[in-house]
Amino acid sequence: VKKGEDMGGIATMYNVKIKDLREANTEIDPRMMPIGSVLIIPSGDPEQDAFRPTSIPTPVTHILTGAPVCYAEASGGAWCLLIVVNNTDTSIEDISVDFILSGPDGNEPVTKASFSLLDRLTAGQMISVSAYFEKAPALPWKINSRLRTASPSVDEGARYLQSTLDRSAVTLSEDRLSARITGVVNLNAGQSDANIIQVVAAAYNASGQPVGLRRWESPVGLESGSGLVCDFTVFSLGGPIDWVDVLLETRP
C-alpha cells in the first residue's frame, strides 16, 4: 500500500471486486491501511467463472468507444482510460476493453484487458473504463484500444434492483484535482434486499476526456425500502476536473 491508495483503488487496479479483496484481507481495516501494508490479491473464482454466461458480442456500430488517454506515474506506471457508450436500445453487460500501449517505435506493445466497474450499462448511458500498466513503455506512447466483449443484458428484473441516488452532490476541490461525491442510496420498496451497492464516479476535463475513475462499494447490505449514505472522492490523474458523471447499481 502506497501513500494515497485505498482498497477501492487497489481493487480497480487489479480488476477484482472490492468484496473479494476485503475477504482475502480480513485482518486489514480498509478504512485505516498503513503505508507499506501488503495485501493479498485474490484470483478469479473458477466455479463462478464456469457459470458466467458466454459473452455475445454486440455490433461495434452500437457500442461507441472514445479515444483512449493515458497518464504517466512517477513510479513508471501508467493509467489509461476511455469512454464506452451504450448506443443500443437495450441494457448491455460484460463490457470489457483491451488497451494496447507501445513505445514511440510501436514495437513490443503491451496489452491490458479491463472490465467495466459496473456489471450493467443501460441504454444511452456511458461509462469510463480504465487499465493500469505497472511498467509502461518509453514515452511518447502509441495508444490503441478495442472492444472485447459486450453482451445483451438477460433477466434484468431478477438480477438488478431499482434504486436512486438522492440528495447527490459533487464538490470540486479548490485546485479541481479531486471531487467529493455524496448522496443517499435509496432502495425502492417491494423488492429484494440489496447485498451489492456500487456507485461509480467518472471525472472528465473540459474537453470531455476522462481524467479519473473511482468505485464506491457499500460494506453493508441495504434492506428494501431503506437508504444509506454514500461519501467518497475521485481524484484526477491528469489536470483539472470539469465535471463528474455518477452511476449507481444495486443487486441482490
With CA atoms as reference, report the closest residue to 249 among 71, 91, 130, 25: 91
- pLDDT tens digits for 52-85? 344 444 443 467 788 899 999 989 999 999 999 9
| Coil, strand or helix at 41 | coil
Same-domain check for residues 75 and 27: no
What values do phi and psi take at 203, rounded to 5?
-100, 140
Same-domain check for residues 176 and 225: yes
- Summary mean pLDDT of the chain: 86
How would you classify the pairing of strands 243-251 and 92-102?
Answer: unpaired
- Residue-level pLDDT at 45: 45
Q: Does residue 211 contact residue 232 with C-beta atoms inside 8 Å?
A: no
10 Å Cβ neighbour count for 127? 20
- pLDDT tens digits for 140-154? 999 999 988 888 888
Rounded CA-CA distance 81/210 in Å is 6
- Residue-level pLDDT at 203: 97
Predicted TM-score of the model (pTM): 0.77
Total domains in the chain come to 3
Same-domain check for residues 98 and 168: no
User: Which among 123, 156, 189 is the end of a domain?
Assistant: 156
Rounded CA-CA distance 29/27 in Å is 7
- Does the residue 56 lie in any domain? no
What values do phi and psi take at 13, rounded to 5?
-60, -40
Rounded CA-CA distance 52/46 in Å is 10
39 vs 181, which has greater pLDDT?
181
Range of the domain at 101: 63-156
C-alpha cell of residue 120? 450493467
DSSP structure string for 164-206: EEEEEEEEE-TTSSEEEEEEEEEEPSSSPPBSEEEEEEEEE-T
Question: Which CATH number is 139's domain given?
Answer: 2.60.40.10
With CA atoms as reference, report the closest residue to 141 among 170, 189, 107: 107
Burial of 220 (0-12, 13-18, 19+ CB in 10 A): exposed
- Residue-level pLDDT at 61: 44
- Does the residue 57 lie in any domain? no
- Residue-level pLDDT at 57: 42
User: Which among 100, 131, 156 is the end of a domain?
Assistant: 156
- Does the residue 199 lie in any domain? yes
- Residue-level pLDDT at 234: 97
C-alpha cell of residue 65? 468507444
C-alpha cell of residue 50? 464456469
Rounded CA-CA distance 139/67 in Å is 18
- Percent of the residues in the chain that have a pLDDT greater than 70, as a whole number: 86
- Residue-level pLDDT at 87: 87
Same-domain check for residues 69 and 38: no
User: Which among 141, 156, 171 is the end of a domain?
Assistant: 156
Lowest mean pLDDT among 143-157, 194-208, 216-230: 143-157
